[in-house]
């Protein structure tokens, strides 16, 4: 089978993106999260080779630098961002539209995140997951794990005691009834699991035995396996397979 290459095409907002940081699906429509000239950008596929796109709204007169990750939750679609360039707070936006314009996105995280961690100039929401009917967000620079305390994502709380010191939360995955958190911990990839957001078990804290594995970059469930990808600037990226022993 051949491979078709498609791109985000010209729209009224911009002609291209600087980066696509993540892909997601909402009501059968493909979305992309990225950035354009230090402004968070969303895009959605209208048809093969045809995309609509726009900038996520400003908050406090500032654009988030990049849109990073997205996930559906309680009938709406959530998109996470980095902080704006130079100052401000990372954000989370939501929409219920499958063909949104910039005005269809509502910021939901500003007061919730800031109340828990304070305004962090360089912080980014790096990953999202839905676990036990809660929306969970991981951050880096610095690293925190936060979760919703209600279904509309208006109120957030810090997950106590996690991640460990000197760690960034870089990936989240749900598998076999547990939440898995991938980290960059003391400069090395680490992986933890939790059945309840309270008790955490380290799966590896030494880069899967390779200190050149610097961080977990993504996770995906396929069949009975959890696939974990890691960054390795020295010898190349790796994908590790975890299988249940049940």
Q: Among 11-25, 32-46, 103-117, 135-149, whose mean pLDDT is lowest?
A: 11-25
The model carries a pTM of 0.86
Query: Is residue 232 within 8 Å of 212, Cβ to Cβ?
Result: yes
Q: What is the pLDDT of residues 108-147, one digit of tens each?
A: 865 556 666 665 656 788 999 999 999 999 988 888 899 9
Cα–Cα distance, 79 to 94 (Å, whole number): 6
In the predicted model, what is the mean pLDDT of the chain?
85
Q: Give residue 246's pLDDT.
A: 57
- Structure confidence at residue 120 (pLDDT): 61
Query: Angle CA(110)–CA(193)–CA(93) in degrees, nearest 5?
Result: 20
pLDDT digit string, tens, across residues 164-223: 989 999 999 999 999 999 999 999 999 999 999 999 999 999 999 999 999 999 999 998
Lowest mean pLDDT among 3-12, 82-91, 133-142, 221-230: 3-12
Task: Give the model's pLDDT for residue 119.
Answer: 55
Task: Report the alpha-carbon distance of residue 50 to residue 180 in Å, rounded.
Answer: 35
Across the range 68-84, mean pLDDT stands at 91
Mean pLDDT computed over 56-63: 86
157 burial level (CB within 10 Å; 0-12, 13-18, 19+): middle
Query: What is the arrangement of strands in the sheet containing 76-81, beginning at the earlier edge strand?
Result: 67-73, 76-81, 92-95, 106-107
Whether 2 shows a pLDDT value over 50: the answer reads: no
Calculate mean pLDDT across residues 64-80: 92
């Amino acid at each position: 089978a051949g491979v078709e290459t498609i791109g985000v095409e010209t729209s009224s907002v911009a002609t291209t993106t600087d980066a696509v940081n993540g892909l997601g699906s909402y009501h059968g429509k493909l979305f992309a999260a990225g950035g354009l000239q230090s402004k968070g950008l969303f895009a959605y596929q209208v048809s093969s080779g045809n995309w609509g796109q726009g900038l996520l709204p400003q908050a406090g007169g500032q654009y988030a630098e990049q849109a990073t990750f997205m996930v559906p939750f309680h009938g709406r679609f959530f998109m996470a961002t980095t902080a704006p360039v130079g100052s401000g707070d990372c954000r989370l936006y939501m929409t219920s539209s499958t063909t949104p314009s910039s005005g269809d996105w509502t910021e939901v995280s500003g007061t919730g995140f800031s109340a828990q961690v304070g305004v962090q100039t360089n912080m980014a929401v790096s990953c999202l997951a839905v676990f036990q009917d809660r929306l969970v967000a991981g951050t880096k620079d610095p690293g925190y794990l936060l979760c919703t305390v209600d279904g509309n994502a208006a109120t957030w709380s810090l997950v106590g005691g996690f991640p460990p010191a000197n760690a960034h939360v870089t990936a989240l995955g749900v598998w076999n009834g547990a939440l898995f958190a991938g980290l960059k911990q003391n400069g090395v990839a680490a992986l933890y699991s939790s059945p309840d957001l309270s008790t955490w078990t380290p799966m590896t804290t030494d880069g899967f035995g390779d200190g050149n594995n610097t961080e977990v970059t993504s996770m995906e469930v396929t069949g009975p396996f959890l696939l974990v990808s890691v960054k390795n600037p020295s010898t190349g990226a790796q994908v590790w397979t975890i299988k249940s022993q049940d």
